[in-house]
């Protein structure tokens, strides 16, 4: 998550939320809400200000540490099989979008 990344970088720099807020010109409460995962979609403008203050790139803040992603073993085999059979990222994305649509319709 973006908030986790910002918090880790802030702590590595030895900054408090107050200091990051002051130097980035982003409110303390907004930074706190990002770090706690309450604000899940901060603007690129805000993230750029924070990245500049933390002396890092926007890409670094937005990147996901793939080693922290856990895929349940029950999903590995069918997913690998689908990829081996030619499933593309676009097709998988389309499937997910369709599935979300069907789920929303079912709950209405």
How confident is the model at residue 66, as a pLDDT?
Answer: 54
- The answer, yes or no, to whether residue 104 has pLDDT greater than 70, is yes
Long-range contacts of 60-67 (CB under 8 A, 24+ apart): 60/5, 60/9, 61/2, 61/5, 61/6, 61/9, 62/2, 62/5, 63/5
Q: Which has the higher per-residue pLDDT, 106 or 82?
A: 82
How confident is the model at residue 56, as a pLDDT?
Answer: 93
How confident is the model at residue 31, as a pLDDT?
Answer: 97
- The answer, yes or no, to whether residue 41 has pLDDT greater than 90, is no
How confident is the model at residue 96, as a pLDDT?
Answer: 82
């Amino acid at each position: 998550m973006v908030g986790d990344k910002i918090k880790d970088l802030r702590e590595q720099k030895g900054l408090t939320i107050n200091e990051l807020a002051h130097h980035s010109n982003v409110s303390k409460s907004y930074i706190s809400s990002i770090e706690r995962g309450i604000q899940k979609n901060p603007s690129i403008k805000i993230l750029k200000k924070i990245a500049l203050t933390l002396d890092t790139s926007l890409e670094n803040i937005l990147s996901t540490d793939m080693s922290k992603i856990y895929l349940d073993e029950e999903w590995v085999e069918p997913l690998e099989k689908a990829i081996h059979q030619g499933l593309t990222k676009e097709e998988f994305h389309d499937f997910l979008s369709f599935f979300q649509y069907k789920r929303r319709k079912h709950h209405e």
